[in-house]
Amino acid sequence: MNEQFRVAHKLGLMFLHDTPLPEDVKAWATSQLHAKSPALGIKKIKLYPKAKVQKWPKSLQPDLKKRDDMFAMYKQNVRKQRMKLEGHTSEAAKRANNRDNLMGEKDEMKFAHRNVYGKDQVRLRFTSFWANHFTTGNIWDNQNHIGHAIDEAILANLNGSFSHMLYKMTTHPSMLVYLDNVWSSGPNSKNVIWAKENGEQAGLNDNLGRELLELHTVSPSAKYSETDIRNAAKVLAGWGIWPGNLSDGLMTLNERNNKLIEMGETTNSWDFFKKWHAEPGNKTVLGKVITPGKGGLRNLTDFLASHENTIMFISFKLAEHFVSDKPSKSDIDYIANAWRHSNGNLDQIHSAVIERAISSKAPKFQWPMTWLFQVVRLSDASFFKGWDQIEKYDQGLMEVRKIFEELGQSFWHTRQPNGYSSAKSEWLSGEMFERRIRFSDAIYTAGYPSFSPQDIMDRIGVNKATRELVNSLVGRKKQFIALMCSPELMGLENA
């Protein structure tokens, strides 16, 4: 594989057919960190000529307040659907049986389009890495907020500091709902005292406190204690309101918003702190004293973001994801040093990752979703429906949600907090390989690639082994499948 495509394979999503190849690939990759990142896609699939790539409509990219209101309306509709009025279900209740107020499938399609048609492929790859590091998943219909977290907490902060991204993801409603922090109250909070006096249940939930230490920052190598976890949970107590939990079918949105202001002094679910649920007094986490109140969480995340164990833990994850399947100590140290010298500046950290990925000639096995986007971009296939075709059967193509389900990887599924592994051993089973064969077949059959296997091999400059493998087969379809599932394009051998 030529140098441009070798680098794009490791760090990006492969060059689109109409994109000139850069002469200085390192300068190109670094410049990609500040590339413009509009959400691009297609309105409706057209094969001949290909559909025009354009910006996603604003109506399909609602802000967080709109998403919260949509979610509240959805919860109201679900309740209305169950109501019996005058002995029969009302027409309003019948109409309520829809999912128009949920953004999951729309956001999944936007994510797929962005990765297929986007010009900022390196930024998108780093966005996916961090979206996986800060895992959220679809629980309590949390799908309404996952796409917003990826766009506004991660992609929008990709050029800032890790500390800021950590704080924005920790306080985002998608994370607070996913790890049940919306239900958490400090053991000595006013809410718990009231609950005990009135025979109700309320207490501390340590899910987010635990994952903040174990998965998002210092890792178990910091040898934190259960007391540290519990104290981190106490710092987090009071953060977050489940955006739909005041929608009982009787409360209007204005009444709900007034109630939210009463509870948290704001309707902004990304900055919602319930003082009645907060734990009073100082807390100590890994020796750091955290003062009480809303500002305590920022003190904690800033402390954890600069912790040496955090630096080494995430530097390894970055190296394993982008540089090689078995990164060397020098690879990890190079990234860690950039982190220390820049005080966690993501531009500097990502630049260090780019340098090591380019200098390392070791192969890097790619995630299923990364591989899928690369195959579609290389072949110029039309595999994802347009935004006007959401929930419409057309062209015999799978729904976007179904594609990710079958692929075995999606940021919108119900999944474990530790995210998807970057280790190739997790993806090398016969079943996972068979899925790539089936998707290659489907992309060729239903996606109508614009380029033949020979065209693609010539453009990217595949190695001799790959060319011999493809040429040993008869028929374009078999050659296409062999090329896309070759060790070289999957990242199993040196390009």
SS3 (DSSP) at 218: coil
Instruction: Please report, as a single letter, which amino acid is at residue 75.
Output: K
Q: For position 90, what pLDDT does the model report? A: 53
Asked whether residue 440 is domain-assigned, the answer is yes
Asked whether residue 429 is domain-assigned, the answer is yes
For residue 145, what are its two tokens?
Answer: 């907020």
Q: For position 140, what pLDDT does the model report? A: 76
The total domain count for the chain is 1
Residue among 244, 232, 178 at smallest CA distance from 204: 232
Other residues' Cβ atoms within 10 Å of the Cβ of residue 133 = 19
Asked whether residue 99 is domain-assigned, the answer is no
Which residues constitute the domain of residue 484?
3-21+364-490
SS3 (DSSP) at 40: strand
Q: Tell me which H or E stretch contains 230.
A: helix 226-236
In DSSP terms, 54 is beta-bridged to: 41
Q: For position 81, what pLDDT does the model report? A: 66
For residue 292, what are its two tokens?
Answer: 């009480």
For residue 342, what are its two tokens?
Answer: 């820049």
pTM, entire model: 0.94
Return the percent helix, strand and coil in the chain, to nearest 5.
Answer: 55, 5, 40
Residues in the chain: 495
Read out DSSP for 400-426?
A: HHHHHHHHT--TTS---TT-----GGG
Report the DSSP pairing between strands 288-290 and 40-41: unpaired
How many angstroms separate the CA atoms of 174 and 159, rounded?
22
C-beta separation of 181 from 240 below 8 A: yes
Q: What is the DSSP letter of 283?
A: E
Asked whether residue 383 is domain-assigned, the answer is yes
Distances from the Cα of 440 to the Cα of 322, 384, 402, 476, angstroms: 23, 14, 16, 12
Other residues' Cβ atoms within 10 Å of the Cβ of residue 143 = 26
Q: For position 394, what pLDDT does the model report? A: 62
How many angstroms separate the CA atoms of 301 and 212, rounded?
9
Read out DSSP for 116-148?
A: HH-S-HHHHHHHHHHHHHT----STTTHHHHHH
- Give me the phi and psi of 288, to 5 degrees please: -95, 125
- The alpha carbon torsion through 40, 44, 50, 54 (nearest 10 deg) reads -20
How many angstroms separate the CA atoms of 140 and 10, rounded?
35
Asked whether residue 393 is domain-assigned, the answer is yes
Q: For position 243, what pLDDT does the model report? A: 62
Q: For position 83, what pLDDT does the model report? A: 59
Asked whether residue 458 is domain-assigned, the answer is yes
How many angstroms separate the CA atoms of 217 and 304, rounded?
6
Residue among 128, 129, 124 at smallest CA distance from 13: 124
Asked whether residue 98 is domain-assigned, the answer is no
Query: pLDDT digit of tens for each residue in the chain (495 aa)?
Result: 999 999 999 999 999 999 999 999 999 999 999 999 899 999 999 888 899 999 999 999 999 999 988 888 777 776 666 655 445 455 554 444 456 778 989 999 999 999 999 999 999 999 999 999 999 988 877 888 999 999 999 999 999 999 999 999 999 999 999 999 999 999 999 999 999 999 998 999 999 999 999 999 999 999 999 999 999 999 999 999 876 655 555 567 777 778 778 777 788 899 999 999 999 999 999 999 999 999 999 999 999 999 999 999 999 999 999 999 999 999 999 999 999 999 999 999 999 999 999 999 999 999 999 999 999 999 999 999 999 988 776 656 788 999 999 999 999 998 899 999 999 999 999 999 999 999 999 999 999 999 999 999 999 999 999 999 999 999 999 999 999 999 999 999 765
Ordered alpha helix ranges (H), 265-367: 296-305, 308-322, 329-341, 346-359
Q: For position 246, what pLDDT does the model report? A: 55
Residue among 296, 360, 369, 368 at smallest CA distance from 331: 360
How many angstroms separate the CA atoms of 351 and 280, rounded?
42
How many angstroms separate the CA atoms of 339 and 318, rounded?
12
Asked whether residue 139 is domain-assigned, the answer is no
Ordered alpha helix ranges (H), 37-183: 64-82, 91-95, 104-117, 121-133, 143-148, 162-170, 173-178
